[in-house]
Structure 1
Amino acid sequence: MDNNFFFGHKIEDRSYLSFIKREIHNLIAKTAFSSMRAGELDIVVSELLSNLIKHAGSGEIFFKLSDTENNSKAFEIYCIDNGPGNNNIGKMMKDGVSSSNTLGHGLGAIERLSNFFQIYSIAKWGTVAYAKILMDEAQKKIVLPRKDIHVDTLQVCMPGENVCGDGYQIRKINNETQIFLGDGLGHGPNAHEAVQKAIEAFNECQETDPTDILRFMHQKVKKTRGLVGTIASYNHTKKEWKVCGVGNITTRFYEGLTSKKIMSHNGIIGLNIPSFLNSHVLSDTDYQHIVMFSDGIRNHWDLHQYPGILKYASPIIAAAIFKDNARRNDDMTLLMGRVN
């Protein structure tokens, strides 16, 4: 699982667009994207940025290159704005429909050229959009594997930093899928070092219970400034979760709009953890989401405030939460997973 964060830019007027498109082009030029696929990606980016300026006036974008399961690359991009929004985005997706006297082909082109694209909007709230473009298999839409855990993560550095003090990792061991999310104390290089050492320990540990993994991790990161972290482990045979955390990583399980918050133990991994740790055990249910986030995301939100959001994929849900609750004065990570 790749652990690279999203590059972020605020867009305040049209003069920003050429700089951002050039930055994305330079990023893609380092990969094996074909010239044709790179051109299609450029169209997607141009349409997203143009729509943001045209309809909202300003906003934010986040983008990165990520690894795929077949050792290829994918380009991911979020667009987030606080503009007027639209309660009938389905109508706007149709070619020829425009609210700004244009040809109305923009959203349709983005959908056709992306391997995955969704957009969510509420009148007087704004809009979030997410697109993913695969380097290979340009004509195939993304299909989620069944009987597996699919995870999407929106991770952004504290503004002004070029390394992230948050980190996450996913691994499969025996019949379990385990998710780790950590937050090094503070931010910057020292926080980044702490969370990367924790990820190394997580990958190295042969234990399967989250409590045992955290104890192992605690010993391995003692020479760092320390971190907070949570491990969620899903047993595919028992169809149940075990979750244990130390510090202020928040973990919630959503079953529809009903949520259950998992309490973490007090302490700092690498400095002081309780002598007694216990895991919370939860059964898997249909349409269940696990949401984990660092303290760069405010805790006081609920999915009830986003009408129809559960019809959308995890990146859109994450983007809506991020839009309203990112503190933007710390590293920010929001991880969403579900069992297919």
Structure 2
Amino acid sequence: MLSSHEACRLLGELPAARESDRIALRARLLAAAQRYGFPAPERERMALACYELATNIVKHAEGRGLVQIWYQPGPTLDLFAVDRGRGIADLAQALQDGFSTSETFGKGLGSLERLSDYCEIYSVPRRGAGPRRGWHGTAVLARFSRAAEALPAGVGLFSRSLHDDRANGDRLFLEQGSHHTRWLHVDGLGSGPRAQASSAPLAQALAAQTDPVWVLEACDRLLGAGGHRAVAAAGLVRHAGRGLELAGVGDVHAHLIDDGAQQPEKRQLGFAPGILGAVHGRASTHRLSLAAGALVVSASDGIRRRWSLADFPRLPRHHPQLIAYLLGYQLGRLADDQSLAVIAATPGKAGTAAGS
């Protein structure tokens, strides 16, 4: 079973505009890679990929962007770059060696696919003017892993503490079998060490129970016994039958996304008010069928719940981890711990082989 406190950590984040920041980011990446046992040739590939990501932001987005270093299971190191530039009108053409719009050799994007174990690029060209023109820019995930399998297939995790402190009141527990994915998404009340301590023992609730309602009932007992308080959602996706069972109590939220329909749909799944370990009614439950390409997104209240698929066209077609990083970055509230999980109805790309 994975716990986001150990399995999903932001190791570094720096803007790309200044050369000093790019040098510091490279040094932080190489130190982390050495600490997690990546061999020297792979560390060199990471450094080159980091340089390409930062350079592309400077060339094509006037430096308006940043690069993050993430730790994921494996061990796996992810480079996630995001900018608010003009976007890429023809991504397939931009990936061809020799193509450039900035009078350079044009090897940056194409080289990322060769340098990394897995690479995926999402880009939306700028659309018109006005407050509702939606997100535009480019987001890139470049993954380096020492394991044949890193994160479970079809899963994306994002977890970031308030002010990037060591303690995080949000926690995700996740377990995947051959035909299902189960997870528990907990938001301990408040922030800091006490909020983090509230969720620490709750892995046993997910391990002992299958039905999401029973998982939350077990959480309620554990929290009450320890004098802690939290809100939470528990979910089960059955991949073979493409079914979702989801239960929740309190101010967490979830969305069901179906991008395979003629008109992409995002359905919000709300939960009954209350606090586990204190006063609450029966957990709200959702039992739904899932389309083949559907995604389930669960999030703490540190992630804004009001957003539109129209602001991120075609995003659900991408790897759940890229989706998690981009939504977490764009929708995160600066005054709270932030976390979200993206679960695919039918696991596809495992994020371990190069491609886009």
* TM-score, normalised with respect to structure 2: 0.84
Distance 1:308 1:279, change over 3 A: closer
1:282 to 280, 288, 291: 288
Tell me the alpha carbon deviations over residues 23-50 of structure 1, each in whole angstroms, 9 at most, x when there is no partner: 1111111122111111111111121122
The letter for the 2-side match of 1:118 is: E
Secondary structure class of the residue paired with 1:39: helix
- In structure 2, the residue matched to 1:230 is 233
- In structure 2, the residue matched to 1:261 is 268
**Residues 151-300 of structure 1: matches in 2 within 5 Å?**
151-172=155-176, 176-203=180-207, 206-222=208-224, 223-236=226-239, 239-256=242-259, 257-274=264-281, 276-300=282-306
**Residues 120-159 of structure 1: matches in 2 within 5 Å?**
120-124=122-126, 125-135=136-146, 150-159=154-163
Provide the rounded CA distance (Å) in 1 between the counterparts of 2:177 and 2:322: 29
- In structure 1, the residue matched to 2:47 is 42
Shift of the alpha carbon at 1:211? Answer: 1.1
Asked if the contact 2:156/2:323 (under 8 Å) is kept, the reply is: no
1:117 to 99, 109, 119: 119
- In structure 1, the residue matched to 2:129 is none
Provide the rounded CA distance (Å) in 2 between the counterparts of 1:237 and 1:119: 29
Provide the rounded CA distance (Å) in 1 between the counterparts of 2:150 and 2:234: 27
1:106 to 94, 105, 108: 108
The letter for the 2-side match of 1:277 is: A
Quote the RMSD (CA, aligned, Å): 2.4
Indicate the percent of aligned positions where both proteins have the same amino acid: 23
2:323 to 308, 317, 326: 317
Shift of the alpha carbon at 1:160? Answer: 4.3
- In structure 2, the residue matched to 1:92 is 94
Aligned residues: 326
Gaps of 5+ in 1: none
Secondary structure class of the residue paired with 2:163: coil
The letter for the 1-side match of 2:257 is: Y
Secondary structure class of the residue paired with 2:205: helix
Asked if the contact 1:169/1:199 (under 8 Å) is kept, the reply is: yes
Asked if the contact 1:301/1:321 (under 8 Å) is kept, the reply is: no
Asked if the contact 2:159/2:338 (under 8 Å) is kept, the reply is: yes
Asked if the contact 2:229/2:276 (under 8 Å) is kept, the reply is: yes
Considering Cα pairs closer than 8 Å and 6+ residues apart, tell me whether 1 or 2 has the greater RCO: 2
Tell me the alpha carbon deviations over residues 129-180 of structure 1, each in whole angstroms, 9 at most, x when there is no partner: 111112256xxxx899xxx862111222222412322110112579653111
Secondary structure class of the residue paired with 2:49: helix
Shift of the alpha carbon at 1:237? Answer: 6.1
1:331 equivalent to 2:333? Answer no
Provide the rounded CA distance (Å) in 2 between the counterparts of 1:33 and 1:314: 24
- In structure 2, the residue matched to 1:24 is 29
Structure 1 outlier segments of 4+, above 6 Å: none
Provide the rounded CA distance (Å) in 1 between the counterparts of 2:200 and 2:150: 31
Asked if the contact 2:121/2:140 (under 8 Å) is kept, the reply is: yes
Asked if the contact 1:167/1:199 (under 8 Å) is kept, the reply is: no
Gaps of 5+ in 2: 127-135, 348-356
Secondary structure class of the residue paired with 2:23: helix
Shift of the alpha carbon at 1:267? Answer: 0.9
